[in-house]
Structure 1
């Protein structure tokens, strides 16, 4: 290790990946608790408000919310196995690594997947979904899957538009939404958009360590779970709901994480969910303006698709994004997200969700600039930071949201 690389171990390591995200000190301290009796008579007094708080974040009054020890991927599996049958036809699209993984899981679980492939950088193909659903006169397609925020590409898809096209086709399929990197950070409206199953995890917008797969289920999906024949055991809705009604769990819950969730929900509610969403948009726009000032392109094909939780940046021709990541980590004590699968070496990602503020955004841009230049990219030093500063200064004066909407 060089003397320069030893310096990076002094001070705080900078985490700019799209998950797991930075854990606020209030949340971290809240998890530092002794183990407790999860069958105690007063345990429900602690946990029931957590379920109510999660429903407010999902914006559902009709749906039920469950927490499974695990990741968002575990919640994916719970959603599928509880509501569908082996051999069911489902409509999905691949437009990034995580939508691709969801397709793979559906196939592994025995579903017949009708898959639409679109370029990585595009969003959910609403019109093509409409054509396919319009031809399905007998409702053979039992579910439509949408990755709301594709973390690999920095693309936010229009879930509301998918529900609208389903309704226009008078189609009765369930609507599944992967909201792992969107729920709690960007606008998500389960009831208003007619979402039947929404999946997220603790390690993104909820500002916690990984360990909780969180799932919201509509009454329609709950009815489907009572007649679905796919095998499940650990992830069974019926077992979970029977215990959750009184605030308990069918198996040992990760109580320190539940204490962290209590603190995280308090932070979100103190800021106000609408303000959380506005903050994410403002910070994301500052990052995007910084990237444009470098003269670099985003993976997202159009500004209407820009994610407010992660920005995927294409490096210049002749520059290896993996070298940018290495330099950032080794020389500057910073972690950025890597390009996944077909984007490896071509893209690096800046995560800007959860406990994230203006100073962190400016630091991310400054360290990314340094890393790009050391990796051989010709980007104007300071340009990205200056562009973001100008935007944030404007936003601080009350002009930022109007500028962002132009």
Structure 2
């Protein structure tokens, strides 16, 4: 029998705050009523603020971030178009696979899992593309499988310095609403997010930021689409409605989540909180004597940390023990990292006490799985970080032998 609260430390879906859950407990309503826009139009406006998107628009597609991926591709590109993408983790790899399945020619830059998007190599290839064969560059802003954040602004600079007209696609599913993301300033044309991560809602809505340039491309693109057509969505969104049935309770939850982010805590404070909590996780992992997957501290993600287990320990055992014995979900290693890595998701509705819980359970599960480490080492390092952040220098750190 399980007692107490289940602890969720995966990088999505994330914890849903009680006020958001309560906001979704609404009766069904008429989505064609003349006042439905009273709910939806402010949501569209606030999502533009969240994306820092001034001149473009933000669309909501029932589905996940993957649905928004497909909408972005099918509305702006043509079968046979060449795209440039760095593959350096599970989600960048899946995005490339989708592009191939939809009939695009994928020019891939394959990197070690743990590396960031290679801005210099992208610049080199764009500079060599004299004929403009590359129609889009795909960047995974935050690779959830490896805990790595890439330099989107750097890719935009590469495009501009090469005078290249390719569209810039960005997967921001595990970054938007948690990390610094600037769609307008970085010249992003298609930005993909979902409700189930930094937005602290259940899965069910794919969110897509669309620049004016991308909207123009959608009017001449010939790839087949129906449900995901931008023209249908834009026409109905203008009056606060959708071309098909939206998940109305989820819209109410999103409304409440946006209020928390933009008005109660503030977007800059949300970003700073994620940075503070992530640094505590990383210091805790280092104090345990473990390594992370990210190749350098400068590219570490502030929403998820991928942690290598010691030699002789199976990460799947760590995850199973945490779940079965301590009622705690840790993220699994994906693809070639399966069995070698576990992940701690630290995004969305999270605070210092929750981070300490994640580290303490990770220590317990690691030791139960055969790791040789000191109890309290990781927790103590995180505590020291939090104390210093609040201006309290601890006299000593105690770790049980």
Query: Normalised by the shorter chain, which TM-score bucket?
Result: over 0.9
Determine the structure 2 residue equivalent to 1:107.
100
1:65 aligns to 2:58 (yes or no): yes
Question: Which of the residues 279, 282, 290 maps onto 2:276?
Answer: 282
Determine the structure 1 residue equivalent to 2:230.
237
> Which secondary structure does the structure 1 equivalent of 2:291 belong to?
coil
Determine the structure 1 residue equivalent to 2:11.
18
1:265 aligns to 2:258 (yes or no): yes
> Which secondary structure does the structure 2 equivalent of 1:262 belong to?
helix
The number of residues matched between the two structures is 392
> Which secondary structure does the structure 2 equivalent of 1:143 belong to?
strand
1:398 Cα offset (Å):
8.7
1:63 Cα offset (Å):
1.0
Cα deviation 1:38-68 (Å, max 9, x = unaligned): 0011101111000000000000111110000
1:222 aligns to 2:215 (yes or no): yes
Determine the structure 1 residue equivalent to 2:399.
none
Distance (Å, rounded) in 2 between the aligned partners of 1:175 and 1:61: 17
> Which secondary structure does the structure 1 equivalent of 2:311 belong to?
coil
Distance (Å, rounded) in 1 between the aligned partners of 2:316 and 2:82: 39
Structure 2 unaligned blocks of 5 or more: 394-401
Note the 1:388-403 alignment, pairs <5 A: 388-397=382-391
1:18 Cα offset (Å):
0.2
Cα deviation 1:270-298 (Å, max 9, x = unaligned): 10000000000000000000000001000
Structure 1 unaligned blocks of 5 or more: 1-5, 400-406
Distance (Å, rounded) in 2 between the aligned partners of 1:292 and 1:12: 28
Determine the structure 2 residue equivalent to 1:378.
372
1:397 Cα offset (Å):
2.2
Note the 1:177-326 alignment, pairs <5 A: 177-269=170-262, 270-326=264-320
Determine the structure 2 residue equivalent to 1:125.
118
Distance (Å, rounded) in 2 between the aligned partners of 1:111 and 1:93: 15
Distance (Å, rounded) in 1 between the aligned partners of 2:349 and 2:374: 29
Distance (Å, rounded) in 2 between the aligned partners of 1:100 and 1:142: 19
Cα deviation 1:293-339 (Å, max 9, x = unaligned): 00100000000110000000000010000000000000000000000
> Which secondary structure does the structure 2 equivalent of 1:326 belong to?
helix
Distance (Å, rounded) in 2 between the aligned partners of 1:348 and 1:196: 33
Question: Which of the residues 22, 25, 30 maps onto 2:23?
Answer: 30
1:73 Cα offset (Å):
0.1
Distance (Å, rounded) in 2 between the aligned partners of 1:215 and 1:379: 44
1:25 Cα offset (Å):
0.4
Distance (Å, rounded) in 2 between the aligned partners of 1:210 and 1:265: 15
Cα deviation 1:97-119 (Å, max 9, x = unaligned): 00000000000000001001000
1:345 aligns to 2:336 (yes or no): no
Distance (Å, rounded) in 1 between the aligned partners of 2:221 and 2:118: 28
Distance (Å, rounded) in 2 between the aligned partners of 1:63 and 1:354: 25
Superposition RMSD in Å: 0.8
Distance (Å, rounded) in 2 between the aligned partners of 1:393 and 1:63: 42
> Which secondary structure does the structure 2 equivalent of 1:214 belong to?
strand
Q: What TM-score, normalized to structure 1?
A: 0.96
Distance (Å, rounded) in 1 between the aligned partners of 2:16 and 2:313: 32
Determine the structure 2 residue equivalent to 1:363.
357
Determine the structure 2 residue equivalent to 1:94.
87
> Which secondary structure does the structure 1 equivalent of 2:292 belong to?
coil
1:164 aligns to 2:157 (yes or no): yes
Distance (Å, rounded) in 1 between the aligned partners of 2:50 and 2:101: 31
Determine the structure 1 residue equivalent to 2:128.
135
Cα deviation 1:15-47 (Å, max 9, x = unaligned): 000000000000000000010000011101111
1:173 aligns to 2:166 (yes or no): yes
Distance (Å, rounded) in 2 between the aligned partners of 1:61 and 1:195: 12
> Which secondary structure does the structure 2 equivalent of 1:79 belong to?
helix
> Which secondary structure does the structure 2 equivalent of 1:65 belong to?
strand
1:232 Cα offset (Å):
0.2
